A and B are shown apart, each in its own frame.
Chain A
Amino acid sequence: MDAKRVAAIIALALLALVPPVAMAADAPFYVGLFARIMVFAIAAVSLDLILGYGGLVSFGHAAYLGIGAYAVGILSFHGVTGGFAHFATAFFAAAAAALVIGFVSLRTSGVYFIMITLAFSQMVYFLGVSLNQYGGDDGLNIARHSNFGAALDLKDPVVFYYFVFALLLVFLFLGSRIVRSRFGVLLQGVKSNERRMIALGFPTFRYKLAAFVMAGAICGVAGALFANLTLFVSPSIMHWTRSGEILMMVILGGLGSLIGPVFGAAAYLILESVLSRLTEHWQAVLGPILILVVLFSKTGLYGLFAMGARRRG
């Protein structure tokens, strides 16, 4: 087995062990922290699909996180509590938004694409602010977790943890199939040399759009999970800096590897949690650390871990 696979399996095994270890150590805080890490990992994995494989630098990914979270918030507000309704709505609403946003932004490329995806996410952000009925700027409390019946009670932090973990595994598995399929190879061709792809006769736009919609939909699910994690949604979840954070997680963890963003989400949120306890200027410390990692490892943290595994193995 190659080193990267080993690194991935070790990471996922460690994630599976978090709740029992945290409980044994009487530190339930970590169950919440790692659930949050995995929620953002799902968002980052979805971004990696289009960024790492398709070369599409979307700077508006938080919009889909917000749409997914608001889907849960708004449905709950109106008394709809069913988990399937929540998650299906989050998935399809985010997909629909990605379809519209992608349809316009994918006509551009390079820095224009970055700007236009950012602009769209700002529109979605201000849409959230303007939803006075749903709390506007102040946000919206969610009365109860998405209801999947007694057997899957998301109110229990450990159950919720494994629910997120299972979804992360599903998306990692689906993603790893997709990136190796014809569709995934096509996507990588677009990243490598789109002019060549078009000259070969690939109508690249529709494939990029499909990937963009998939990524948005998966990020919508992450948003629904986020709403369940915090039982609260507000526009701040889709602030543009949040898009930047997700982007950072992908780059920090390692572009184009799917598992890399899981490392990235963990590193980013753990650093944030540790540093913010030490100093209120934690972002000033985080910045240089991120820059160092990116400078010293083109393949991100995941590349470093894999390298370590290779040395030992």
Chain B
Amino acid sequence: MAEPVLETSGLTKRFGGIVATGDVSLSVAPGEIHAVIGPNGAGKTTLISELSGELKPDAGSIRFAGADISRFGPVRRAALGIARAFQVTSIFREFTALENVALAVQARAGHSFRFWRPAEREAQLREPARAMLRDVGLGERADLPAGSLSHGEKRALELAMVLATGPRLLLLDEPTAGMGAEESAAMVRLLAGLKSRFSVVLVEHDMDAVFALADRITVMVYGRVIASGAPEAIRADPEVRRAYLGDEEPGC
């Protein structure tokens, strides 16, 4: 197997008495979609925050692209190409969709101590942003305020922003959260289209989405990894079935 792009070992984060992530070790190969599943409160979002640098783990280490990034903050990790989409959509509601993505492009276009030229006239920010919006199917919505988009469109917009930073690793926290069946299917198609171009850590509750997309699956319960492996193996794992997938429907 190729050298993993992301590798964690022993990631532990406690909130008071709660072990949100306990000794989590996982690795993501280049171009792989690695799904993390588990019931509510299993520690999936906490894990994503530790990977993005927003939360500091109490113990454990993180290697990314061969370097130890355990001590890096979120800004440095983003600069290295780790990009996060939040479980609760995080966009600039007052900006237009295009301005949202253009700002994401700006994040990777050198420093922002530029005081004179209007950003709205900078083709080098606007053009890639426009293209990215088209890629996620929001080409027609570019000039609308982000706050006025539908829920599914907002989530697609956040994905466009994340992609516009030119990432190597995507941290996607329930991209289909709160979506109806149709929106959900559209998001899955979108993510399937990204496959192999990026490495992805995908937290997801929708099992159809998980099994459609994932190359590997890690199952967390109460902060611990109880299983990790190929989708077929996870589907068949009796402990996973009992803890999470639900015993009562054999054969899925």
Q: Is the CB of A198 within 8 A of B90?
A: no
Q: Is the CB of B120 within 8 A of A198?
A: no
Q: Restricting to A179-209, which residues have a CB under 8 Å from any CB of B? A: 180-186, 188-189, 192-193, 195-196, 198-203, 207
Q: Is the CB of A192 within 8 A of B95?
A: yes
Q: Is the CB of B52 within 8 A of A199?
A: yes
**Residue from the list B92, B116, B125 in contact with A192, Cβ < 8 A:** B92
**Residue from the list B75, B94, B99 in contact with A202, Cβ < 8 A:** B75
Q: Is the CB of B91 within 8 A of A198?
A: no
Q: Is the CB of A181 within 8 A of B115?
A: yes
Q: Restricting to A124-163, which residues have a CB under 8 Å from any CB of B? A: none
CA–CA, A185 to B95, complex, Å?
10
Given contacts A199-B52, A200-B103, contact A185 B75 (CB under 8 A): no
Which residues on B sit within 8 Å (CB–CB) of A183? 112-115
Which residues on B sit within 8 Å (CB–CB) of A202? 75, 107, 112
Report the minimum CB–CB distance from B142 to chain A (whole Å).
16
Report the minimum CB–CB distance from B65 to chain A (whole Å).
16
Counting chain B CB atoms within 10 Å of each CB, the highest count among A180, A199, A201 belongs to A199
CA–CA, A173 to B214, complex, Å?
53
CB of A178 within 8 Å of the partner chain? yes
Which residues on B sit within 8 Å (CB–CB) of A177? 115-116, 118
Which residues on A sit within 8 Å (CB–CB) of B21? none
Counted as pairs of residues, one from A and one from B, with CB atoms less than 8 Å apart, the total is: 88
Q: Which 3 A/B pairs are nearest by Cβ-Cβ distance?
A: A201-B78, A180-B118, A200-B107
Q: Is the CB of B122 within 8 A of A199?
A: no
CB of B87 within 8 Å of the partner chain? no
Which residues on A sit within 8 Å (CB–CB) of B118? 177, 180-181
Q: A192-B93, A200-B83, A202-B75 are known; give 16 further A-B pairs, CB within 8 A.
A: A180-B118, A180-B119, A181-B118, A182-B114, A184-B115, A189-B95, A189-B103, A192-B95, A196-B86, A196-B91, A198-B74, A198-B78, A199-B54, A201-B78, A201-B165, A210-B113
Q: Mark B12-40, 1 if CB is under 8 A from A, else 0.
A: 00000000000000000000000000000
Q: Is the CB of B113 within 8 A of A185?
A: no
Q: Is the CB of B103 within 8 A of A201?
A: no
**Residue from the list B93, B95, B119, B161 in contact with A182, Cβ < 8 A:** B119
Q: Mark A16-38, 1 if CB is under 8 A from B, else 0.
A: 00000000000000000000000
A210's nearest neighbour on chain B, judged by CB, is B113
Q: Is the CB of A185 within 8 A of B90?
A: no
Given contacts A201-B108, A203-B75, contact A195 B115 (CB under 8 A): no
Which residues on B sit within 8 Å (CB–CB) of A185? 99, 102-103, 106, 119
Q: Is the CB of A189 within 8 A of B92?
A: yes
CB of B213 within 8 Å of the partner chain? no
CB of B104 within 8 Å of the partner chain? yes
**Residue from the list B84, B114, B116, B125 in contact with A199, Cβ < 8 A:** B84
Which residues on A sit within 8 Å (CB–CB) of B102? 185
CA–CA, A178 to B117, complex, Å?
8
CA–CA, A222 to B108, complex, Å?
37
Which residues on A sit within 8 Å (CB–CB) of B84? 199
CB of B227 within 8 Å of the partner chain? no
CB of B79 within 8 Å of the partner chain? yes
CA–CA, A177 to B119, complex, Å?
10
**Residue from the list A184, A198, A200 in contact with B104, Cβ < 8 A:** A200
Counting chain A CB atoms within 10 Å of each CB, the highest count among B54, B112, B119 belongs to B112
Cross-chain pairs A/B with CB under 8 angstroms, 14 sampled: A177-B115, A177-B116, A178-B115, A181-B114, A181-B118, A181-B119, A182-B112, A182-B125, A185-B99, A188-B94, A189-B95, A198-B78, A199-B54, A199-B84
